[in-house]
Every structure is written in structure tokens, then in C-alpha cells.
Amino acid sequence: MDLKDQRVLVVGLGKSGVASALFLKSRGARVTVSDSKPEAELHNEILLLLEHGITVETGGHGDRTFRGQDLIVVSPGVPVDAPMLVQARNQGEQVIGEIELAARFLPGPIAAITGANGKTTTTSLAGEILAAGKIPVLVGGNIGTPAISFVEQATPQTWIVLEVSSFQLETIVDFRPHIAVILNITPDHLDRHRTFTNYVNAKARIFENQRADDFTVLNADDATTAALHDRTRAQIIRFSRKKEIENGAFVRNGAIFFRDGKHQTEIMLQSEIPLKGAHNLENVLAAICVGMLAGCPPQAIRQAVQNFKAVEHRLEFVAKVAGVDYYNDSKATNVDATIKALESFPANIHLILGGKDKGSDYSVLNDLLRARVKRVYTIGAAAAKIESQIHGAAEIDHAETLEGAVKHAAASAVPGDIVLLAPACSSFDQFQNYEHRGQVFKEAVRSLAETNASR
């Protein structure tokens, strides 16, 4: 793909937008960047881009900006049906995302991992498994480092392990991972995708360009994911924590095995997994599939899993204060993730719920709330909706803010209880992102611990 003197527009000044603009400029393209945020919110990004001779438009998208472009690279946060993008496509302009741009230049194999929940943990673990197996690997995508940033350092032998979201998959054209993993599909982002069917179809795009010598890894225990088996041309590898698998990873009598039809290999004992929860067992099984398909020795896989630390903001233990354990699962941005978090603890939970609603049905939490939760503390814009849908399933404390929720929970909890941030909502009503929300929670808990220690 020759970019020299091509007119390229990058829409959105997030991490992937900035990285794309700098890459395109380095390849000789005439780059313009457009973002709807005001100039004051993008000060650092603007300075960086201007230093490299990139034209920047802020505070909205001008009609003329989108005309006459040879290529438009759109950030994941920009809806694909935005009027200016629809108009651009109607005028014959090509619209792609950063993940598609990167794939056109990355020289080695890609392992792409998607799912409603567990993407970050599985992607991180898969990267560590490959590294333990002495396989050159770079890890990024939706997890943090944009894929386009790897182009200059990757070789044909370098594996690129990417977390990919449904938003990123909406804008692919030729993106073809050698290994495509779908962990699970449960309702999420319905405010963007509108229907669950649309969401499923977006996830399924991960394998639409695969060929017979590629691999599609599917969760055999998740009905929606398992049903996608007839939509891929790749070789199907499955994983299951509930039953034995002909091709893939499974659990038998407390041990994890990988089977490739004729041959069966014991990888490790289930008791050696350091992560809490049945959902994390599924994440480990998926990562083991990636490792085995990439050629990692079983002993290296076992060692990588044993040494793996929980990813920040994913069921992360923060502290024990006055006999109460505090867990940060800020990454639980949908109802299914909150269900998985609740299933990781048997009882005595003080649950913090709320944030920006994504069109979710919170009533599906009610059985677990009755069985395991002492009290729910609601925060953010979705509080009223949540309270109406869980009414009667648990005591409710309308805390409004995260700091307030931590204080109220600390006052109510007794030794042996658990305070769990698993909000089932996005963070964008009160925070910059889920990481910011998790940091605020951890700071509130640390402050609580300091106050308790000084008494």
C-alpha cells in the first residue's frame, strides 16, 4: 500500500488516531486529523501533530474536510453510520479503521482476541505464553498500544497478539488473523449496535477473511459463540471447562488438556491457575489454545499461567481494611461481566453498580443479588434505572459518587465481607475511562486504610 502523496483523513484523536496520523505522515501521506472535541481538551495531541506537519481540525467535523480524500482512517469511538462517513462512502472514498491499516503493513502472523468479556486478560496471558515459549511477540490493540505502532519493529517472525473490539471490527476490510478467538458474546454496546444480532455479526467479522490454513478458536460453553462454527472457513478449535473437546482445550479431573484430534497433551493442573473465577478458567483455556497453535512448549505455557498476575481493574484485589476485602473490577462495563464477578464470591458482597447506561437489562442480576449480595450502592447516570430494575432483590443505597459508595460500604460491612466495584456500566458519565474509575476506587480504599491505621 503506497501512501506517498495520498490525501488521508484521520477521524478521532485518541491513542489509535494519533498513532495512525504519525505513521501515515512517516510514509509520505498528506495527513489531516479531525476531532469533535474542543481544542483545549486536545492540547498535547495537537502540539505533537503540528510538530510533524499534520493539519488538525478540532471542535467538529467540516463537510469539506471529508471531500477528496484518498483514504479515511476512523477511530473506534466514531460510529460507522455517522453522516459524514456515510457521505464519504457514497462518494467512493475508502473508510477503514486503525486495525485494518496496521494489518496491511504488519509482516508476521496475527492472533486476534475478541469477546464481550475477558479480552484483556486473555490477550495479556496469550502474549506472556508466547514470550515464555521464546516466540517473538508484541501485544496491543484495544488493550493499550495501537497495532499500527508495531509496524516498524515487527519482523515476519513476530507474532502480533491483539485485543480487538466490536467497534474495531466494524471497519475492517481485509484484516485476517492467523488465529481468531471469540471468548463469549453476551449483550453489550446495544446503544451503539442497536440489536444483539448486529453485535454478534460485528464480533463474527473477526474470522470473515480467514482461510483454510487459519484457526478459529470458539468457546464451546457459550451458546452464541459456539453457534458461529459454520460461518468460518478456518479450522475450528474449541475450549470448554464443562466437557471434553475433540480439537482444543478442556478440563478433566482437575487437569487441563489440549487435544488436536489424535494427540492429547496434559498442560497443567487447574489448581495451578492463580486467577479467581470460572470465567478466568475459560480465559486460560483460550490462551492455552493460542499458545499451542503458535507452537509453544506445554511446559512454557504452564509456567506462564502460573506466573500470571491479574490484570489491573479486572477482579483486582486492592486491600483488606478492618477485615473487609476490597476488589476492583472496573472493567466490568456490562451486565454479564458483573455476573461473572459476583459468581467469583459465594456471599456477603457489597456491590457498587452504576455509570453510563449502555441499553442494558439489570434485572438479570436479581437472582445473584438475592443469593450473594448484602447491599447495592448505586452511582452515576444509570442509578435510577438500575434501582428500578433491581428493586426488592437487595438493599439499595443511592450513593451517587464512587467515593461516597466506598464510604457507605465501609460503614456497613463487617469482617469477612467483600466490597466489589463491578459497575455493569461504562464510565463516561463521571470518569475519563474505566481505568480512571478503577484508580479513583483504589485511592478511596487506600485513604480508608490510612484512616483506619491511624486510629
Q: Total domain count for the chain? A: 3
Single residue among 262, 279, 306 that ends a domain in this structure: 306
Q: Does residue 360 share a domain with residue 245?
A: no
Per-residue pLDDT for 192 more than 80? no
Residue 247 is inside which H or E element, if any? strand 247-252
Active-site residue 142, yes or no?
yes
In whole angstroms, what is the distance from residue 370 CA to residue 433 CA?
A: 30
Structural domain boundaries, residue 13: 7-98
Note the pLDDT of residue 57.
Answer: 93
Residue 181 is inside which H or E element, if any? strand 179-182
Active-site residue 189, yes or no?
yes
Q: What is the pLDDT of residues 60-82, one digit of tens each?
A: 888 889 999 999 999 888 888 88
Single residue among 69, 98, 127 that ends a domain in this structure: 98
Q: Does residue 129 share a domain with residue 213?
A: yes
Integer angstrom CA distances of residue 56 from 30, 80, 99: 12, 21, 22
Q: Does residue 330 share a domain with residue 298?
A: no
Give strand ranges (E) for 85-132: 94-97, 110-114
Q: Does residue 223 share a domain with residue 270?
A: yes
Q: Does residue 283 share a domain with residue 259?
A: yes
pLDDT category at 5 given cuts 50, 70, 90 is very high
Note the pLDDT of residue 423.
Answer: 98
Average pLDDT, the chain: 94
Residue with cell 502460573: 306
Closest CA to 296 of 336, 268, 269: 268
In whole angstroms, what is the distance from residue 181 CA to residue 301 CA?
A: 17
pLDDT category at 190 given cuts 50, 70, 90 is low
Other CB atoms within a 10 A radius of the CB of residue 312 amount to 14
C-alpha cell at 61: 467535523
Q: Does residue 192 share a domain with residue 331?
A: no
Active-site residue 119, yes or no?
yes
Q: What is the pLDDT of residues 132-172, one digit of tens each?
A: 999 999 999 988 899 999 999 999 999 999 999 999 999 99
Amino acid at 181: V
Q: Does residue 345 share a domain with residue 252?
A: no
Sheet holding 30-34, edge to edge: 55-57, 30-34, 7-11, 71-74, 94-97
Q: Does residue 321 share a domain with residue 286?
A: no
Q: Does residue 167 share a domain with residue 253?
A: yes
Tell the burial category of 111 from Cβ atoms under 10 Å away from its Cβ (0-12, 13-18, 19+): buried
pLDDT category at 452 given cuts 50, 70, 90 is confident
Q: What is the pLDDT of residues 357-391, one digit of tens each?
A: 999 999 999 999 999 999 999 999 999 999 999 99
pLDDT category at 193 given cuts 50, 70, 90 is low
Tell the burial category of 247 from Cβ atoms under 10 Å away from its Cβ (0-12, 13-18, 19+): middle
Single residue among 65, 98, 131 that ends a domain in this structure: 98
Exactly one of 15, 61, 142, 350 is catalytic; name it: 142
Exactly one of 25, 189, 193, 313 is catalytic; name it: 189
Residue 9 is inside which H or E element, if any? strand 7-11
Identify the residue with better confidence: 186 or 427.
427
Exactly one of 25, 61, 119, 374 is catalytic; name it: 119
